[in-house]
Chain A
Amino acid sequence: AQSVAQPEDQVNVAEGNPLTVKCTYSVSGNPYLFWYVQYPNRGLQFLLKYITGDNLVKGSYGFEAEFNKSQTSFHLKKPSALVSDSALYFCAPRAAGNKLTFGGGTRVLVKP
């Protein structure tokens, strides 16, 4: 069985400051890891993924994520947050059979 944990329900950051959203996972075999973002009244949008290769993955809207196998983590980062980054973020490892398992989500609030 696989699982994912996002330990923070909410992250508050000032605009222009670095943003980090934490994610740890448990999967059998090689992990396929995804980050999605959900803006108010919208569906989930793909941000980035880790399949294999470089541990630092770059995605949409200036986001990046660092895969750390020994710590089983896949933290989402952005060097300089924008107010428009305020949203709900989900980490999702992929299991065999195509299933994505979603964490509880982390709400990001970027204040001007």
Chain B
Amino acid sequence: EAQVTQNPRYLITVTGKKLTVTCSQNMNHEYMSWYRQDPGLGLRQIYYSMNVEVTDKGDVPEGYKVSRKEKRNFPLILESPSPNQTSLYFCASSLVGQGINYGYTFGSGTRLTVV
């Protein structure tokens, strides 16, 4: 089944403790992206990657890092989480070029709470 898999689904952590949220897709998509969803703000892009070893900042990159060493994986790293990073996070992937016409495929989300 074609899908984007995020782990974990739920995570409670303490301020300052480094964490990684994993994202993997099995569709050979070039493009991958991370969004955070907050009430009233919709989805805001954190980082994106157009292909392996190519990453760039989205609209709200502060406090986050990403890497794209393999085409299928796009982990989101919080080096020193803070309470304002408590949010619902989504990973998404898509083809590029003509393939973007099919939109994004989203993961099921990771609900992160930083206390």
Contact = CB atoms under 8 A, between A and B. Distances in A.
A18 B39 CA distance: 26
Contacts of A43: 4, 90, 106-109
Contacts of A46: 102-105
Contacts of A9: 40
Given A42-B108, A98-B31, A98-B94, A32 B42 contact: no
B106 A32 contact: no
B84 interface: no
Task: Please report whether the interface of chain B is mostly helix, strand, loop or mixed according to DSSP.
Answer: strand
Contacts, number: 55
B60 interface: no
Interface residues of A, number: 23
A105 B103 CA distance: 17
B78 interface: no
Contact of A44 (B31, B45, B90): B90
A46 to B, nearest CB: 5
Contact of A98 (B35, B43, B50, B108): B50
Contacts of A94: 100
Interface of A: 9, 32, 34, 36, 41-46, 49, 51, 90, 94, 97-105
